[in-house]
Amino acid sequence: MDLQLRDTVVLVTGASRGLGAAMALALAREGAHVVAAARSVDSLAAVAADGGGRITTLEADLRDESSVAGVVPAVLERHGRIDGLINNAGIAPAGKFATQDPAIWKDALAVNVVAPMLLAQAAGVRMIEQGGGRIVNVASTTGVRGKPYLVPYSTSKGAVVRFTEALAAEWAPKNVQVNCIAPGAFVTEAQKAVTESPELHAKRIAKIPAGRMADPAELVPLACLLVSPLSSFTTGAIFVVDGGESGKL
């Protein structure tokens, strides 16, 4: 199926590794011009090297609002338009809530909530001027159902879910679709502590009805579809991709 992504312009944050890198590469293979943004310049360069000339990189620290403010203008300067935004970057500080430093909350909310909001605002205004566009926010199953010892992360990702629904309703008349993907357990560097420990890995997959963790390649077709013009009547949806974990009692 042709997703009609050739020569569209898509910004992907958190694209230096894991799900972000996988989505950036998949979009490039579909013919999109991808701007891959993250803090790690070296890792971004490695992703771009595999992008067939369709991925350019952009260093950005999403904790810093001044850095965030320059992201969409940089995309527009390079390409003159923006057709898709994937707000993928996120941080997941773990720990006991009773003893957590408020600074941890500040960082989690800055990266996971404020940055996606600022990027969606800047990109969406341009999309409206162009006649339409698509925004995909990457949340988590912990944003759908709370998880102990990840209270800041669960809280921030829950906010992303509500943000998606509210913005989708507001911008549907403007032909800007806003959707959310809530991934469960995927084999990425962020899950290294789990995948490299037989005991932790066994405990983790015991919670998943599918009986395994997922490969990033199992998420990217959905991401590509949601930034494609073919998804023009899909908005405000939360797509949980977790092997059935959040659907069981």
From 62, 153, 154, 188, active-site residue: 153
Alpha helices in the chain (DSSP H): 18-29, 41-49, 65-69, 71-79, 102-109, 115-130, 151-171, 192-195, 198-206, 220-226
Distance CA 29, CA 27 (A): 5
Amino acid at site 82: I
Give the angle subtended at the CA of 24 by the CAs of 22 and 27, to the nearest 5°. Answer: 105
Q: Report residue 227 as tokens.
A: 């930034």
Beta bridge pairs of residue 12: 36, 86
| 153 belongs to the catalytic site | yes
Distance CA 23, CA 70 (A): 22
Task: Indicate which residues carry an active-site annotation.
Answer: 153
